[in-house]
Structure 1
């Protein structure tokens, strides 16, 4: 069963993918899902591999889309990225970064922000 939330997520992931492609990135995968986490978009920016989280919030009531990326969410993204890198797709040793694309406001006219290198891998 496809939920309204999933359709909304798909819509904003498509918008983000198109925007990043207009900026010269190449989409390698969408919704890369593992047991431990998910990456919304995996892109290539020149020689760099980019793991992208896409977030939408209609309201700033709880801090907006960027504030919704908690430390636990970042850890799940990093775990999924590590899984992707370990699958033998020829990306070993490639520089990586974690970007976030946020959409805030009414779904018909959201404000978007591309946060390059939004977070690093936690070294705990």
Structure 2
């Protein structure tokens, strides 16, 4: 029984995450960006969204919770490092490589489906 409940919770979290990513993707598309990849996976980790506008690539980590503050609290230093590493790995596939104009954003989604975008939230050290 516990496994069934755990599996159900995992499925609910997965679908809630996908719904949050959809909300965030629409917000970026409303600002003229194009979704290039959803849940891009490399050896270093996963990028929730990879967006493009002209020559710029924007990596977005999506966090959903009851409130924006609670969503922001879910971002841990080790996770930020994995996101930066995955972004670097992705950039290695780009024609301009490290010269590619990039930005690392965090998008927070609350229970009402509202989106708050923090541009340049993660910057390489």
- The TM-score bracket by the shorter chain reads 0.7 to 0.9
Q: 1:3-18 residue pairs with structure 2 within 5 A? A: 3-18=11-26
Return the offset for 1:86: 1.5
2:123 is matched with 120
Closer, same or farther: CA 110–27 of 1 in aligned 2, 3 Å: closer
CA distance in 2, matches of 1:91, 1:101: 26
1:96 is matched with 102
Bigger strand fraction: 1
CA distance in 2, matches of 1:97, 1:39: 13
Q: CA offsets, 1:67-115, max 9 Å, x none?
A: 211111111111111111123x4241111110111012x3xx2442111
**Which among 81, 84, 88 is matched to residue 82 of structure 1?**
88
Q: Mind listing any 5+ residue stretches in structure 2 that lack a counterpart?
A: 1-6
1:38 is matched with 46
CA distance in 1, matches of 2:61, 2:49: 7
Return the offset for 1:59: 5.0
For this pair of structures, how many residues does the alignment match?
Answer: 116
Q: What RMSD in Å do the two structures reach over aligned CA positions?
A: 1.8
Q: Mind listing any 5+ residue stretches in structure 1 that lack a counterpart?
A: none
Q: Of the two, which has the highest radius of gyration?
A: 2
Return the offset for 1:34: 2.1
**Which among 73, 78, 97 is matched to residue 72 of structure 1?**
78
